[in-house]
Amino acid sequence: MSKAEQIVKDLVRHTYGTWRRQELWKSPLLIKDAEGVYIYDDGGKRYIDFSSQLMCSNLGHKNKAIIEAIVKQAERLPYVAPGFTSEASVAAVEALRSVLPEGLQKFFFSTSGTEANEAALKIVRQYKAPSYKILSRYRSYHGATPGSLTLTGDPRRILAERARCTIDGVRFAPDAYCYRCPFNLTYPGCGIQCARYVDYMIKEEGNVAGIIVEPIVGTNGRIVPSPEYFPMLREICDENDVLLIADEVMSGWFRTGKAFAIEHWNVTPDILTTAKGCTAAYTPAGVTVTTREIADFFEQEPFDHGHTYAYHPLVLSAIPAAVGEYKRLMKTGLPQRVSRHLKQRLHELGDRHQSIGDVRGMGHFWALELVRDRKTKEPFNVKMDKFSRKTMMTSKVARDAFDQGVYILSWYDTLIVAPPLIITQDEVDEAIDIIDKSLLIADREAVSTDIPVSKTSEFVSI
């Protein structure tokens, strides 16, 4: 047995693999290095990181500016309790204010998107008491702890409910999912019923304190709503005195072309949460930021939240460096040029492969939804297949692509195309050419039809 094999054997014996049956946590690949848009296994094989790991390594691997900032902070002040403050906290606030939508002013810093959303949940319920209900959507992921997981609509929430690890007071609204409209309507004649129904829910439910949305849905489909959706939702929230929470954990940090996806609709939420890309994943940061109106409420009321690693200086040290690198990179025009090329190449895949039902997304944030039949939109797999013993078609395609040198994440119905913003056109072409071949696996089980691929990102483009 090689040294690498022994390391993996010991690891799986003593650690839990996340979000899976442990019988599938037997041979995780040992990654020894990463640089730029590539990761390397223990044998030196190179893989294009076409999903930015978990849609978080937005600036690629081994960014010198961020590494240097972390090292300097470690040498100066690696930790101080959150009851104190540090220069790292001040610098992080200043950097974030330079890119956040105007009107968001007061921060709480944690160590993950999950924790950022838990803080938002507490803030909303305390601020809006006695109202306490939160609306979310079925196509959503908001975190792994009881509150944030209850807000999640995907299969992980269902498993948590079975284990009685959820909270009360969460209701699910319709998704702004044009490819599979929950009302079986067609844009634009639909009247944006997915938004209008939220108004109906708020009035009928009563006691609604807030609604949490991913501006562009992350894990569960990279779903881009119509241009009218968020302006209508903002108006509905204002008319009903309900807070709007934008979960930008995955869609933020220039992944869609703007610093935060909600900016595409010229809408400012009452609370914004983010994580992942705020440090480019070099340190584990979570950010919850509110309007001044909400902040003023807590001047006379206790802010009943906190933990040991809140405002961790080593964590926060990466934020100003990352913000600086994003600004520098966006000024080069590289992400803008490559995003147009990526869109073109993905649409070409859709035109060539019968197994692709819909191509949608923005910037460096795309979904290829795989279907057995384009005409009926019959999927290869459904939500509850994810944690069954069935092998997902998307997993088969992703596995084959990985064997050929492309790391691309899959969910039960989509392939997640979310490369680092530093990727070049040539690197995109290399990855797409491999995925092109891997999609033949799905094509062999797809129904041949003359129905063209859906490109919902085109008719709802901002």
What is the pLDDT averaged over residues 24-28? Answer: 84
* Res. 454 pLDDT band, cuts 50 70 90: very high
* Res. 21 pLDDT band, cuts 50 70 90: confident
Write down the pLDDT at residue 461: 63
Widest distance between CA atoms in the chain? 66
What is the pLDDT averaged over residues 115-129? Answer: 98
What is the pLDDT averaged over residues 283-290? Answer: 98
Poorest-pLDDT segment among 170-174, 359-363, 383-387: 383-387
Quick: pLDDT tens for 411-444.
999 999 999 999 999 999 999 999 999 999 999 9
What is the pLDDT averaged over residues 207-217? Answer: 98
Cβ–Cβ contacts within 10 Å for residue 407, how many? 21
Which two three-digit tokens encode residue 271? Answer: 């609370």
Q: Is the model's pLDDT at 153 over the cut of 80?
A: yes
Quick: pLDDT tens for 86-120.
999 999 999 999 999 999 999 999 999 999 999 99
Give the integer Cα–Cα distance in Å for 185 and 177: 10
Write down the pLDDT at residue 144: 95
What is the pLDDT averaged over residues 213-217? Answer: 97
Which element (helix H / strand E) includes 247?
A: strand 243-247
38-41 and 46-49: which strand pairing? Answer: antiparallel
What DSSP line would sit under 183-241, residue for residue? T---TTTT-SHHHHHHHHHHHHH--EEEEEE-SS-TTTT-PPPPTTHHHHHHHHHHHTT
What is the pLDDT averaged over residues 400-420? Answer: 97
Phi/psi of residue 298, each to 5°? -85, 5
What is the pLDDT averaged over residues 42-53? Answer: 97
**Which long-range contacts does 327-334 make (Cβ < 8 Å, 24+ apart)?**
327/99, 329/59, 329/254, 329/421, 329/422, 330/254, 334/421, 334/422, 334/424
Give the chain's mean pLDDT.
95
Q: Is the model's pLDDT at 270 over the cut of 70?
A: yes
What is the pLDDT averaged over residues 288-293? Answer: 98
Amino acid letter at 24?
A: L
* Domains of the chain and CATH, by start: 3-62+332-459 (3.90.1150.10), 64-328 (3.40.640.10)
* Res. 24 pLDDT band, cuts 50 70 90: confident
